[in-house]
Chains A and B, each alone.
Chain A
Amino acid sequence: MSKLIEFTLTEALEGLEKGEFTARELTQTHLDAIGAAAPLNAFITDTSERALSMADASDERRKKGEAGLIEGAPIAVKDLFCTVGARTAAASNILGEFDPPYESTITANLWKEGGVMIGKVNMDEFAMGSSNEHSRYGPVVSPWRRDGKNDKLVPGGSSGGSAAAVSADLCLGAPGTDTGGSIRQPAAFTGIVGVKPTYGLCSRFGVVAFASSLDHPGPLAKTVEDSAILLRSMAGHDKNDSTSLDVEIPDYAAAVGRSVKGLKVGVPAEYQVDGMPDEIRDLWNQGVEWLKEAGAECVDVSLPHTKYALPAYYIVAPAEASSNLARYDGMRYGARVEKDGLVPTYEATRGEGFGAEVQRRVLIGTYVLSAGYYDAYYLKAQKVRQRILQDFRDTFENVDVLLTPATPSAAFGFGERDADPIQMYLNDIFTVTANLAGVPAISVPAGLDNQGLPLGLQLIAPALGEETMFAAAGALEKAANFSAKPKRWWESA
């Protein structure tokens, strides 16, 4: 396989700028790598012709001195982002062959900055899942395997296709979405960087909605610097999203490499959970040491409502999902299952179009929002959510950033967590708090477990504290010096 795919985004942009290769060559090399990676089942919609014409247009722009921030970089797009002329189905049967008449703001921004759409990637249906086992296209297989083993592992979810694509060097970055951990958890499982920015920093326009108050688009990338460049390319005010923040977007990459001397890092006691493997605890302690050696001051802090985040999430997210997914009725778009009469047609369309996990969440959401239960569930959860936000606000009075593990375990095998939905939900125990509070967080690959699988550490910053977050993440990345790569077994599979 060509060296070209091993480049990080930053390295590839340098090579393009120096004229060492063209966007077309870079794109073709990635398309070849994707062609050889079918066993991963990461790419589900072929847009190779468009990729090559976008690459040619990119080469033209660069010649004219009009290069954007990510000019010529192959980008893989999660099936949740509407892309004109390329099927957008949220990995659900109910959307059929939906061809959006409009483009999501996030992808439009990426193309405006010179990104090349290399293909659309797999995910958990409607972004509901932590393993990418729930998809109309079938599961994504992680590029990673345990040392000396051939068992298939999950890449995490819901942005599992995006994580697999970045980790296997099939693209230079990928926009994902994170509602409870769907960017950071798969990033941690596959040894890459995942960023969930402040709520409202990245527009939700044209992103198939799951839980609107929790949905956060953000980048998955090979390095912290790459993720900073991608976030800057994606973020910005959008009048088409009423929750979009009207703030200046700084040069986040400039914050990577900034000194963390004197930075105050909080280590929250509540993230020490029962049954957490020793390796994760050790890595977390190691992270504290690394940041101290880089000049930061680490202090113990407490966020007492942390343990209530996940149960509150499993009221708010399904409630919003049941409302958002009410639009899929098979009338104006999507796959209709025709029956005798209107209601039977609705019920058959939705009964056949939605997968098991989506149906479970729609039922929970419908139940908690139904007459007589709203106060006991949804309203209560929104009040608990306020408590969780207040925990963060109080803590950030005294510290600049929090350091936690990204996930409670390394990647697991197919079917291992499927029997009990709650076991699957617990994957998001460390990530979901930041979604409820809307604060930015990043997952940074920091080590391997004793079976050779990646583990990540998470940094959480106050709202709009992305630059501090990137500075701390840069220091962590430098100290961890994570350089492991999956063995390219799929090329001979």
Chain B
Amino acid sequence: MSVTKDEVRHIAHLARLRVSEDRLDTLASELNGILDWIEQLDEVDVEGVEAMTTAVESSLPMREDKVTAAGDRDAVLKNAPKSEEGFFVVPKAVE
């Protein structure tokens, strides 16, 4: 498998990363270098092996179904790039 310049452009769009045209070739060659190196995993026999999901056996705990942290609106909004009247201000999302 080899990643083309067009694919890098597509992946970058999927990842919502603006990448300038002149960096696409370099990125494609870096990604291909890494992907080629990763290919050695094909040597490993994983027939019948379960994918690892946890390092130490433990069950997911349940918690009581109640609100524990209803954030302080002002503390949260103080980090907003833009806010007005207690709301986040974001670019128009629906045409």
Contact = CB atoms under 8 A, between A and B. Distances in A.
Interface of A: 96, 98-99, 101-102, 198-200, 213, 239, 242-243, 245-246, 305, 307-308, 311-312, 314-315, 322, 326, 329-336, 338, 341-348, 350-352, 354, 359-360, 362-364, 366-367, 370, 377, 379-387, 389, 420-422, 436-439, 463-464
B67 interface: no
Contacts of A326: 16
A347 B88 CA distance: 19
Interface residues of B, number: 53
B16 A350 contact: yes
Given A99-B79, A342-B90, A379-B51, A363 B16 contact: no
B15 A362 contact: yes
A464 B33 contact: no
B30 A360 contact: yes
Interface in B12-42: 12-19, 27, 30-31, 33-35, 37-41
Interface in B60-82: 60-61, 63, 69, 71-72, 75-76, 78-82
- Looking at chain B's contact residues, the main secondary structure is loop
Interface of B: 3, 7-8, 11-19, 27, 30-31, 33-35, 37-41, 43-44, 46, 49-56, 58, 60-61, 63, 69, 71-72, 75-76, 78-82, 88, 90-93
B81 A336 contact: yes
A367 B80 contact: no
A117 B14 CA distance: 40
Contacts of A345: 91
Contact of A370 (B14, B30, B35): B14
Closest 9 CB pairs of A and B: A438-B55, A351-B18, A382-B51, A333-B79, A336-B81, A347-B18, A383-B46, A101-B75, A199-B55
Nearest to B69: A102
B27 to A, nearest CB: 7
Nearest to B89: A331
A350 B17 CA distance: 5
